[in-house]
Amino acid sequence: MDLRSKLGLYKEGAAKPSAPLRPQSENDIDRLVPGYVVSNSFGCCYVIEQKYPLTHIYGSCRLGDILGTGGDILVTLGGEDCEGLAPEKLLFLDTETTGLSGGAGTLAFLVGVGFFEGDSYIVRQYFIRDYDEEAAMLSELQQLFARHGNFVTFNGKAFDINLLQSRFISNRFRARFGDFPHLDLLYPARRVWGLKLESCRLSSLEENVLGEHRTDDIPGALIPSVYFKYLEDRNASDIMKVIHHNRLDVLSMVSLLARLSAMLKSPLSETDGGFELLGMGRLFEANGRTEDMLECLEACSGSGQFDVKVQAVKRLTGIYKKNGSIERALEHWKAVEAENPSFELFHLIEMAKYYEHKEKNYKRALPIVEKAVQKCLNAGLGGSTQLEELKKRRDRIVRKLQSQNKSLLNQ
């Protein structure tokens, strides 16, 4: 028995008739997607380029809007690395890869980059028509990266840039761009929209925040197999969809940045005044911009959405308690109580604590605790630890009240 049949035996159904190595197709990439071939000492690869005027609107923003973005905004979004970055030098980047789990054997077959040049925003996409074009693509990217010296991505810290670094190493390029300033929009986006949206994937943000609805978009999980199929039959009709998908990703990152930057400039007017504004508070908080955070939270505490109000009050009063402005905290708790919420208890507990420990006004504390106990019972929380703790607190206040009365009598 020869090796081949033995292998066949172990790996059932593996052997298929082999196709010609580089079949010709009527629908190869150069027929379907206009572009050009770029050559260098490593070989060549295919490039698709599209120019957009600065006035082009995507995701309800003009692409040129971000050119006025201040450096402080980039720092708030991307951290201190991004200090001194000029918006006109930003390099937006997104890759499409042969696998989603990473590792040395996964490569990027399509790398889309976006940058400003003169009066345009240019989206350039490097596509390798086969594995042997990778080195040429990486060489082009190396120069481009060196020119820009930064990245703007969506989840690029965990994925795209890591993967490209791995590819550079595997191809013996000594390029080191791991410490370039890198604005990964995923992290600020999670802070801002994590409370509002179920998913913070780029596609979800695009639809729910930017108001773009993609039609006929290709699901990410299918992309590797689309490429493998293209390698075999050279029919680029599905690859076309991947290219389109990638281009839109590179566009929507600009629009997302514009959106975030507008919101950072004037959080009160540029957000929904609800969860988004609360999210802005989280973003400011993460950057240590306390004043801005308090402004957002104060605004949220007046929100008509009760959930927003409660979350804002919890966070705000936590800060006020720490920095000694407990009276301001008290105002907020009272405001919550004024809405007479059926389930919320925290403000009652906080108020009871305040009257018991701060003012030592047990008379005022007692009815508040009793109300909380009653609420607990109404909510069917009998026997819960929360209820037990409330009862303990009530009994203690009653005792204190009695001994206060006694000492008053004794005087």
> What is the phi-psi region of residue 122: left when phi exceeds 0, alpha when psi lies from -120 to 50, beta otherwise?
beta
**10: contact with other proteins by CB under 8 A:** yes
Q: Which of 36, 131, 306, 343 binds other proteins (CB under 8 A)?
A: 131
Helix (H, G, I), strand (E, B) or coil at 323: coil
| HSE-up (13 A, CA, CB side) for residue 246 | 28
Q: Are strands 182-184 and 151-153 parallel, antiparallel or unpaired?
A: parallel
Q: How far is CA 397 from CA 58, 203, 333, 357, 377, in A?
A: 61, 54, 20, 10, 19
Q: Which of 36, 83, 228, 359 binds other proteins (CB under 8 A)?
A: 228
Binding mask 73-112 for other proteins (x = CB under 8 A): -------------------------xxxxxxxxx------
CB of 149 to other proteins, least distance (A): 22
**Among candidate residues 140, 137, 112, the one with its CA nearest the CA of residue 242:** 112
**219: contact with other proteins by CB under 8 A:** no
Binding mask 160-179 for other proteins (x = CB under 8 A): -----xx--xx---------
In this structure, how many other beta carbons lie within 10 angstroms of the beta carbon of residue 110?
23
CB of 109 to other proteins, least distance (A): 11
* Beta carbons of 173 and 138 less than 8 angstroms apart: yes
**158: contact with other proteins by CB under 8 A:** no
Name the one residue in this structure whose structure tokens are 């991004």: 82
| HSE-up (13 A, CA, CB side) for residue 45 | 25
Sole window of 13-21, 65-73, 115-123, 210-218 interacting with other proteins (rule: CB under 8 A): 13-21
**33: contact with other proteins by CB under 8 A:** no
The number of residues that bind other proteins (CB under 8 A) is 35
Residues written for the chain: 411
**6: contact with other proteins by CB under 8 A:** yes
**20: contact with other proteins by CB under 8 A:** no
Nearer to other proteins, 42 or 180 (CB): 42
Look up residue 35 and give its two tokens: 């572009």
**130: contact with other proteins by CB under 8 A:** yes
State the residues that interact with other proteins by CB under 8 A. Answer: 1, 3-4, 6-11, 14-16, 18, 21, 98-106, 130-132, 165-166, 169-170, 224-225, 228, 231-232
